[in-house]
Structure 1
Amino acid sequence: MVSPLAEALLRYTERQGGESLFSTPIDGLAIMRSDHPKPASHLLLRPAVCLVAQGAKWGSFGGNRLEYRAGQALVIGVETPSIGKVFEARPGEPCLVLMFELDFAIMRSVAEDLPTPPIPSGQAGLGVFVSNFDGPLADCALRLVRLLDTPQAIPALHPGIIREICYWLLTGPHGGEIARLALRTSPSQHVIEAMHSLRGRFRETVRIEDLAAIAHMSPSAFHRHFKALTASTPLQYQKQLRLLEARRLMVSCGLNVEAAAFEVGYESPSQFSREYARMFGAPPKRDLTRLRSTLEAYDDGQALAAA
């Protein structure tokens, strides 16, 4: 039986035509439709909710692979590199995913209005998890999609729905995890602040001691918390950011291998090529040929742009 949310997403995507990632009149809201399973793709994910209405996907973060199916959502609380794949989709029954950004400023505002705000989970853990998205949360998601039929109502109604989603996330079974990632009283917030600094300076040589100082932690404690949150060390995280950006520059901007390597902070093109091959499974030139062929076959250019 097709859910009301899947029906609404089918109607919207069929009006647009084609398949892939559809932007919408609502800022930060997108819809993904895949009529066939797709190859795994490397992405840089920002804080967001990825709700599956039909079909199934998986995402890999470090060595952690998370599957999510219809009625479930991948909740992303930190900006993190990942590998994602649609593995359950077919013509007539496509994989349909509603994606909307999480605004932690709104989340904190909602938390302040709660009579009993959730207590941040004390245990350091991955900043990404899978949650059931049913009941009031599913109703909110459906109302978001239905708003697309009345664009003039979006400015008035969209903010209230987003605040309601934040409320149900904070008061739901994963409220402690959401609070750990969103609230300024959480130790994870200090690590996230340092992560933002690393994100803005990923082309530079960055000392762990400097990042640890931003997080108000010792280098060893910072390293431990960072790895728990992202499933990678700070240096591995920086390397992934560099390689994802270099790949984007070569595909979208036409830079050659050497120019892309220097642009993202590598001094040695040969080292760049070796690390690129370890991450993407092939040297840059061979990977770009394969990637362009894949993009033409699957019209997945928007996914690359997100990376």
Structure 2
Amino acid sequence: MKRVVLGDETYAYDQSHFLLTAVNLPTVMQVLQASDEHPYMCIMQKIDLELARSLMTEMDTHRGEGSAEDAGLVLGPVTMPLAAATMNLVDLIETPQDAPFLAQSIQREILFRLLTSPVGGRLRQAVQVGTRTNGISKAIRWIRDHFVEPLRVQDLAEIARMGESTFHHHFRALTTMSPLQYQKQLRLHEARRLMINDRMDASLAAHRVGYESATQFNREYRRLFGAPPKRDIRSITFSDREFFDEGFPVIGGPQSGSATLQ
């Protein structure tokens, strides 16, 4: 069982469901059930957008089009065919010499299962060029590449090719937060990563991610993570079973892959 927190929204799911991510989002993930006897294992697959687009043009079915039109994260059911195809892909680890010949066909089957699932409409919208999701994805990529810099919503709306009010509405629908809140979470996640991985002190980490006020950084850090920086970092050990997105794209922008399956 795993729990994923995005802003004020929480998604809890087990092996009977998958999590489809339509855009890059700063999330906190926590494993709820795991032990030495029954360790937690997860598969994350990056969606090949070009392969998905090619498959979509060949398909004459439109099942799932009405699902979760604006949500950045959606849960879908793991069917037996989807599970079998995924395990076939994992099995290629044991025979890497077969991967160049079989991997793409297996990925194609996985995409087919996703596109014809109840959340297939969400995936379609994520991969189609020119959709609202694609425009928001471009704006998100800009924020993630320039999160230390001052942010102007007008500039982001132009990147997404939307009016400001329309942009605000669809950005919040996808991410559950405003552009400024999204930038803030990126900064805080990156500061947390710097303190853990690079053993950077809180004041330097805050400055590195764009904060001018240490007091403001400490206040917003505690609001997001539930404890001030020093106490939070001290409490994180390998036994915590807590994993978090590092504040940077796990994948590239919308042209190289803006959706993932977990």
TM-score, reference length from structure 1: 0.74
Aligned-partner residue type, residue 158 of structure 1 = A
Unaligned runs of 5+ in 2: 248-262
Q: Distance in 1 between matches of 2:229 and 2:214?
A: 11
Within the alignment, does 1:197 sit opposite 2:142 as a pair?
Answer: yes
- Name the counterpart of 1:68: 13
Within the candidate set 244, 267, 275, 2:212 is matched to 267
Deviating more after overlay: 172-181 vs 235-244: 172-181
Q: Deviations over 1:182-214 (max 9, x none)?
A: 211422211111111111111100100100111
- Name the counterpart of 2:32: 87
Q: Distance in 1 between matches of 2:162 and 2:178?
A: 15
Q: What root-mean-square deviation, in Å, do the aligned CA atoms of Structure 1 and Structure 2 show?
A: 2.2
Q: Distance in 2 between matches of 1:113 and 1:210?
A: 37
Q: Using CA pairs below 8 Å that are at least 6 residues apart, which structure has the higher relative contact order?
A: 2
Shift of 1:70: 2.1
TM-score, reference length from structure 2: 0.86
Contact kept, 8 Å, 2:67 with 2:118, in 1: the verdict is: no
Aligned-partner residue type, residue 97 of structure 2 = Q
Aligned-partner residue type, residue 156 of structure 2 = L
In percent, how many aligned pairs have the same letter? Answer: 38
Within the candidate set 191, 199, 219, 1:254 is matched to 199
Shift of 1:73: 0.8
Aligned-partner residue type, residue 42 of structure 2 = V
Aligned-partner residue type, residue 258 of structure 1 = S
Contact kept, 8 Å, 1:208 with 1:234, in 2: the verdict is: yes
Contact kept, 8 Å, 1:202 with 1:242, in 2: the verdict is: yes
Q: Distance in 1 between matches of 2:89 and 2:45?
A: 10
Contact kept, 8 Å, 2:17 with 2:76, in 1: the verdict is: yes
* SS of corresponding position for 2:26: strand
Unaligned runs of 5+ in 1: 1-55
Q: Distance in 1 between matches of 2:111 and 2:47?
A: 9
Aligned-partner residue type, residue 219 of structure 1 = E
Shift of 1:122: 8.8
Contact kept, 8 Å, 2:194 with 2:205, in 1: the verdict is: yes
Q: Deviations over 1:258-277 (max 9, x none)?
A: 22111111111221111111
Q: Distance in 2 between matches of 1:149 and 1:123?
A: 37
Work out the number of aligned pairs and report it: 247
Taking structure 1 as reference, are residues 126 and 98 closer, same or farther at Cα in structure 2, changes over 3 Å only? same
Aligned-partner residue type, residue 15 of structure 2 = A
Q: Deviations over 1:142-179 (max 9, x none)?
A: 10121111122122211221122112211222221111
* SS of corresponding position for 1:74: strand
Q: Distance in 1 between matches of 2:95 and 2:204?
A: 46
Taking structure 1 as reference, are residues 173 and 239 closer, same or farther at Cα in structure 2, changes over 3 Å only? same
Shift of 1:288: 1.4
Taking structure 1 as reference, are residues 215 and 105 closer, same or farther at Cα in structure 2, changes over 3 Å only? same
Aligned-partner residue type, residue 176 of structure 1 = G
Q: Distance in 2 between matches of 1:123 and 1:186?
A: 14
Q: Distance in 2 between matches of 1:249 and 1:96?
A: 26
Taking structure 1 as reference, are residues 122 and 207 closer, same or farther at Cα in structure 2, changes over 3 Å only? farther
Within the candidate set 210, 215, 225, 1:280 is matched to 225
Within the alignment, does 1:111 sit opposite 2:56 as a pair?
Answer: yes
Q: 4+ residue stretches of structure 1 with deviation over 6 A?
A: none
- Name the counterpart of 1:187: 132
* SS of corresponding position for 1:125: coil
Within the alignment, does 1:163 sit opposite 2:108 as a pair?
Answer: yes
